[in-house]
Amino acid sequence: MEKDRLFKSLGLVCVILVVSLALALPATSHGKAKFHWRFQSAFAEADMTYGQMLEIAKMIEQVSGGQIEVDTFPVGALVGPEELFSSVADGTIEMGYNMSMSEAEMMPVTLFLAIHGGPQNTEEMYDFVHGTDVFKIVQEAYREKGIHLLSSSGVGQVVLRARKTGVLESWDDFKGAKGWASPQVIPVLTKLGGVCVEVPGFDMYSAMKLGSIDWHEWTIAELETLGWKEVTKVVLASPATQMGVCNTFVNLKAWEALGTELQEKIQSTVLANLEDLSRAYDEENKKAITASKEYGVQFIEMSDADKARFTEVCAADWEGLGQTDARCTKAMAILKDWMKKKGRL
């Protein structure tokens, strides 16, 4: 009797152990582990960058052959935008998508992905970021934070636009004009005579309409998607201040759990298709340009002398950034060499 009870007890323990192990291990299909990743953007669903994020998620699912299921979420759905990076690092969520400069305080080298005064279009952006070692250098910085940087994708030119003429035709015209710029560009535009101010809630439409600012810096598509063409008279098409770049990043433990073969498939597929994703974004920008011109917005270029002046001021600013740490020093050397090959330094 006691022996029967012992066997029954041992049998029950074995069942419990088998069930526990089954729950603890990833589900399998044909012997392959399956993974569920939560992927949150720093942008709303209405933002054009969200569409690019969705395409990257689809690529991951397809190339994994169904091993990875990726659920996508807009800004704030799972974690606050200011917590996105740390939440991916600690595994609260598996993936994040944000502007490349968003972690610049923690990793200054990320500024080189969308360096001011550098690449001026999508082809140049990919040539510089992915055609050199810059992306690999930034990947190293992310890895130290417990994150794998999967991709840096272009989202079009970042340009200046003004609510009236006589502001962006030259840097002499620009002197004393008030406007908003992204943090890394502020020192450059200040040296060129601009007065950089804050805009509450980034409400550029109201600030331009009310005359609180005369100019601001942003990507092109918003002229149409946010109606900013209605308060814009002039867009400075060249020089672009920088290229918009968004980073897709994965929790390092989640990435390493995939194994080398699946990692390589995902990494190579995503990188191979990034430029096509950015060209699709460029097409939307072209539509915004056409609609804005029809509305009466002027697209202008500065003189060669003023373009060179912008590059010169940017290059002086790079010197300070290049001294921040060893990775920035490497990235700056690559940038200078790339700019010399382009005939701009």
pLDDT digits (tens, 9 = 90+) for 304-339: 999 999 999 999 999 999 999 999 999 999 999 999
Q: In terms of Cα–Cα distance, which of 106, 78, 81 is closest to 94? A: 78
How far is 86 from 159, CA to CA, in rounded Å? 30
Written as six digits, the tokens of 267 are 């990494």
Residue 209 lies in a domain: yes
What string of DSSP letters covers 37-91? EEEEESS-TTSHHHHHHHHHHHHHHHHTTTSEEEEEE-TTSSS-GGGHHHHHHTT
Q: List per-residue pLDDT tens for the chain, 345 residues long.
A: 433 443 344 344 333 333 343 344 444 445 678 999 999 999 999 888 999 999 999 999 999 999 999 999 999 999 999 999 999 999 999 999 999 999 999 999 999 999 999 999 999 999 999 999 999 999 999 999 999 999 999 999 999 999 999 999 999 999 999 999 999 999 999 999 999 999 999 999 999 999 999 999 999 999 998 999 999 999 999 999 999 999 999 999 999 999 999 999 999 999 999 999 899 889 989 999 999 999 999 999 999 999 999 999 999 999 999 999 999 999 999 999 999 999 999
Residue 206 lies in a domain: yes
Q: Which residues contact 125 (CB under 8 A, 6 or more apart)?
A: 114, 119, 154, 243, 245, 278
Residue 38 lies in a domain: yes
* Structural domain boundaries enclosing 170: 30-341
Residue 193 lies in a domain: yes
Helices assigned H by DSSP within the chain: 2-24, 48-63, 84-89, 122-129, 134-144, 171-174, 186-191, 204-210, 222-225, 252-256, 260-295, 304-322, 326-341
CATH number at residue 255: 3.40.190.170
Give CB contacts under 8 A, 24+ apart, made by 127-130: 127/338, 128/335, 128/338, 129/245, 130/271, 130/274
Q: Could you give the number of structural domains in the chain?
A: 1
Residue 20 lies in a domain: no
Residue 3 lies in a domain: no
Residue 267 lies in a domain: yes
Residue 23 lies in a domain: no
Confidence (pLDDT) at 30 = 52
